[in-house]
Chain A
Amino acid sequence: MRMQNLVVNFPVATNWSRELGPYIWASRLFVVAIGACLMSSPVPAHGQAVDASPSTTSGVRAQAQLVVGGQSVKNNSKGILSVVGSSLQFDADGKKVAVEASSILDVSTDKDSRQDITGAAHLAAEAIPYGGSRVLSLFSHEVDVLTVEFRDANGAYHGAVFALAKGQAAPFKKQLVALGAKTTAPPAGPAPVNN
């Protein structure tokens, strides 16, 4: 009985597959097309620097956390930090903070602060166990810290502290200094190339 059924059903199955063949191919093509779109879309990984769009930005751009000092943006907001035109911008939850590079009184990274310890003090600090050598760091060494001090149009003094993925603060500092921001610890090397 079973064999009979198979013999009887086989042509039916073949006809079914023949009839649906174009649909299956279409669905496969659709899946491949979706996959290609997803692979080519510019969605960044967590903490990864995002390439700037040449039409809107003139320099570096990265995911960051505004630790303190955002006027309209809440402290500890996560967003995108970028240099747009001649200003530093932070976008988070549809709100934006922008600081003109020329109004920046001092731009620094946490690496600059550690350079303040030199000589014997540095050696002594290095000898402290349990990470005690990290004398001048507000945050973990897993992140970079970018600190910006500036005056607004009314002359009022402001400060903002951003936490970025490791190695990402220095390019911002170089770019801002190249755009006219002041700094007490000049960056080493040339500013990053504009996109």
Chain B
Amino acid sequence: MKHHSGTAYAVSLSIVVSCAVLLMVGHLLGQQGSGDSNRAQKLSASSIQIEAPDPGDVILPPEFRIAVYENLILQIEKTGKFQHVYRSGDKDAAGAPDLVTLHTKARSFTQGSQKEREVTTVLGATSLTVNVRITDHTGQPIVDRDIKGKVVLTGGNLGATYDFSKKVAKIVRNNF
């Protein structure tokens, strides 16, 4: 009698455990599914206008500012997500019906040294953190993130602006 009750207990315990495991797996799969559906909901806009970088309180040399802007224009154009990529102040942008606007504001800037990077391989990194905000035609933010561009091992300091613009282009690809 005791043997039977022990077996029944073990069976019922295993059923409970397996049910719990199934529920957890189902919950996780459900979460993943909803994530995919969120990712699938991409925005659409035919035009984007890229505003001139705002240095904010950061001392950002003009050559860095220009390199950020021009690299950003190039990389956004390369994504092929927009029919028109307008520069700041372009009069033609006013007629675009579903225009989104990309704003950038410098958060921090650490100047490294190419020579130091090449000699030590661990020191001298140049890094640049910029807030990237993409707003729709009503001014509502679609993307609002801080993006870091850096050049660590090899290459000139300009590489940080290139790295940054590549990351922004990736965000644009994921959202549009």
Contacts and interface: CB of A to CB of B under 8 A. Distances in A.
A139 B155 CA distance: 11
A159 B65 contact: yes
A132 B113 contact: yes
Contacts of A69: 66, 70
A161 B157 CA distance: 14
Nearest to A163: B63
B89 A147 contact: no
Contact of B115 (A110, A117, A130, A149): A130
Given A132-B113, A134-B113, A139-B157, A156 B63 contact: no
Contacts of B115: 130-131
* Range for the number of chain B residues in contact with chain A: 20 to 34
Contact of B87 (A112, A132, A140, A158): A158
Given A138-B158, A139-B63, 17 more contacts: A67-B158, A69-B70, A112-B62, A131-B115, A132-B113, A132-B116, A137-B61, A137-B157, A139-B157, A140-B114, A147-B66, A149-B66, A156-B88, A157-B69, A157-B90, A160-B66, A160-B70
A104 to B, nearest CB: 12
A82 B158 CA distance: 24
Contacts of B92: 154
19 contacts: A110-B61, A112-B62, A113-B62, A130-B113, A130-B119, A132-B116, A139-B157, A140-B114, A149-B62, A151-B89, A154-B90, A156-B86, A156-B87, A157-B87, A159-B62, A159-B66, A159-B70, A160-B70, A161-B67
Interface string B91-130: 1100000000000000000010111100100011000000
A68 B70 contact: yes
Contact of B59 (A116, A130, A158): A116
Interface in A131-187: 131-132, 134-140, 145, 147, 149, 151, 154-161
Interface of A: 67-69, 106, 108, 110, 112-113, 116-117, 130-132, 134-140, 145, 147, 149, 151, 154-161
Smallest CB-CB A-B distances: 5 pairs: A159-B66, A156-B87, A156-B90, A113-B61, A157-B88
B61, B67, B69 — which one has the most chain A CB atoms within 10 A of its CB? B61
